[in-house]
Amino acid sequence: MTDPSAAILSSFSSALASVVARATPSIVSVHSHRSRASGFVWKPGLVVTADEALAEEGEISIKLADGTARSGSIVGRDHTTDIALVRFDAKDIAPIKLSPEVPALGSLSIVVAAERGAPAAALGTISLTGGRWRSLRGGDIDARIELDVRLRHSHQGGLALNAAGEPIGMAVLGARRVIVIPAATIDRVAARLETHGRIARGYLGVGLQPIKLDDGIGAMVMSVDKTGPSAAAGIRQGDVIVGWNDEKLSGVRALLRALGPDSVGSVVDVAIRRGGEPVRVKLTIGERPEA
């Protein structure tokens, strides 16, 4: 007589194996210089991978699930969201369709990655979920999803699947945990990288230091780029920024958060105190130069 618990376990195991098997044809290894990462086919001929796991320079090699290797080239990379886009000659591989769903806390998740081209998988749980957040490097991440799973460095860029086998994002190593870069962030950033090769960031051209004022918080201008937008607007070293578009400044971080890709080219009304006197200037936000 078959043990019912053994039958349940066997069925569960087979279901997991089936989920992994459906995802693996679109999973690749990305080799750059001495670095290795995983990735997945986002569009025909385009692979999304973890930016931090890639070398800064050198040739790119893509190893497919069948063991063959193809040369690749970096289309663009965004350090702030840990997303890189790589082009390679393999338009016959079906791309992965990402799901915008944020899985329930405590539900199962499978990370499907690659190790030198060979498929790899790990089972874990969704340990934390939350709303939109900002990475330590300043990138806007559309949802917070963390995994309780072991992730090798070379498996960064692999797909995180929900319990239904739907790809929900890309698994990367955070400071102390495994983070999923969600589908909405990947589609938004990868689309910009495909079109422009980089993510534009707003640029003021000043160095700022937060200071406490009697009536709130200010940002003292410690340095000014002589060729930057602030210098063109007449902002000087020693000025204290206290407002932004008729709103009181809540902090330097809040000011920097306003400098996303859509801010480039916009005109803002900046309230300043100069020698204790109020001054207002119109500033056109520039585009941050490439490092």
Asked if 191 contacts 178 with a C-beta cutoff of 8 angstroms, the reply is no
Share of the chain above pLDDT 90, in %: 66
- The predicted-structure confidence for 51-81, as pLDDT tens digits, reads as follows 998 877 778 999 988 888 999 999 999 988 9
Mean pLDDT of all residues in the chain?
90
State the pLDDT confidence band at 291, using cuts at 50, 70 and 90: low
Residue among 115, 116, 102, 105 nearest 160 (CA): 102
pLDDT in tens, 117-129: 889 999 999 999 9
Which helix or strand (DSSP H or E) is residue 14 part of?
A: helix 4-23
**Gyration radius of the chain over CA positions:** 23
DSSP calls for 66-78: TS-EEEEEEEEEE
The pair of three-digit structure tokens given for residue 256, joined into one six-digit string: 């920097």
For residue 287 the two structure tokens come to 């585009």
The string of pLDDT tens digits covering residues 182-209 is 999 999 999 999 998 888 888 999 999 9
Specify the pLDDT at position 252.
Answer: 83
pLDDT (average), residues 42-52: 95
Please tell me the number of Cα atoms within 13 Å of 229 on its side-chain side. 22
The answer, yes or no, to whether residue 1 has pLDDT greater than 70, is no
Question: What is the pLDDT averaged over residues 159-176?
Answer: 93
Q: pLDDT at residue 95 above 70?
A: yes
Identify the residue whose tokens are 């400098």: 259
- The count of C-alpha atoms lying within 13 angstroms of the C-alpha of 25, restricted to the half-sphere facing its C-beta, is 13
**How far is Cα 290 from Cα 221, in angstroms, rounded to an integer?**
22
pLDDT digits (tens, 9 = 90+) for 225-281: 999 999 999 999 999 999 999 899 888 877 877 787 778 899 999 999 999 899 999
Q: What is the C-alpha to C-alpha distance for residues 169 and 99, in angstroms, rounded to an integer?
A: 8
Q: Could you tell me the sign of the dihedral formed by the alpha carbons of 120, 125, 127, 128, in that order? A: positive
d(CA 64, CA 116): 9
pLDDT at 99: 94
